[in-house]
Amino acid sequence: MTPPQAPRSPILRDGGTGYRFITLDVPLNPLKSAGKAAGGSVNDAFLAALLGGVRRYHETLGVAVDYLPMAIPVSLRTGNDPMGGNRFAAARFVAPVGEPDPGARISAIHRFIAEARGEPALGFLDMIAPALSLLPGSVLTQIAAQMTGVSDLQASNMAGVDRIFYLAGVKVLRLYVLGPRPGVAAIATMLSYDGTCCIGVNVDPEAITDVPEFSRCLQEGFDEVLTWKAPKAAGPEAQ
């Protein structure tokens, strides 16, 4: 429950209850390859691209930010868990939004998630849920607000869909998820479908006042990751 040791962004902290919805289409295999090239996963590349876009948005407004607090869900599911239901816990971390190198961002995110999966207290809410359920609704609301109101961003990568959907005989081309925004400036949710990462971003227009510019910056953040190449290993020195 300890907040991440990073100050909130000065331009993202004051928000409201409205929303705008941004959608991005990113090819799955190149994003997966970028993550692998940096020693990470497709989820690490997704988060790194998101942070790259957030950095660019701050730069357009003349605000320098090196780190900001971010929340992500970490899966707790094991091979012994039954099918269905949710098995995840929220993890909050100091996001390296100011890191200009996409590979370094991917590596840093990969290390954090690996450490978070081994955190003994990660699933503590499951243990105290019976006691929390006895509290008045107003108290639960305050607790939830304190836990979610300390982050600027939230992101989630949902399990991909491995088959094609049809609606009234017509092929469904894209599937976007409108993720709930629990007191953060934006939440990005990625769902892979038919070879494409369908990314939906629920944005607070009072915190992110230039939504079209934010959308452009996010696209540039993903383009930056997709075109990143791992540096070649240095060869033997010439004799």
Domains of the chain, first to last = 20-226 (3.30.559.30)
Q: pTM of the predicted model, to two decimals?
A: 0.81
Residue 198 is predicted with a pLDDT of 96
The one-digit pLDDT tens for each residue of the chain (239 residues) are 555 677 888 888 777 888 999 999 999 999 999 999 999 999 999 999 999 999 999 999 999 999 999 888 766 555 565 555 555 567 778 899 999 999 999 999 999 888 766 555 555 555 555 555 555 766 545 545 555 556 899 999 888 888 899 999 999 999 999 998 878 999 999 999 999 999 999 999 999 999 999 999 999 999 999 999 877 765 555 44
How far is it, in rounded angstroms, from Cα 178 to Cα 42? Answer: 20
Q: Are 194 and 166 in contact (CB under 8 A)?
A: no
Sign of the Cα torsion 206, 178, 155, 73 reads positive
Q: Which residues pair with 90 in a beta bridge?
A: 73
Q: How far, in Å, CA of 161 to CA of 176, rounded?
A: 12
Q: Report the chain's terminal Cα–Cα distance, integer Å.
A: 58
Identify which of 96, 113, 102 has the alpha carbon closest to the alpha carbon of residue 221.
102
What confidence score (pLDDT) does residue 181 get?
Answer: 85
pLDDT score, position 91: 76
Residue 35 identity: G
Strand partners of residue 232? none
Q: How far apart are CA 13 and CA 2, in angstroms?
A: 18
For 124-154, write each residue's pLDDT tens digit.
555 555 555 555 766 545 545 555 556 899 9
| Element (DSSP H or E) covering residue 180 | none
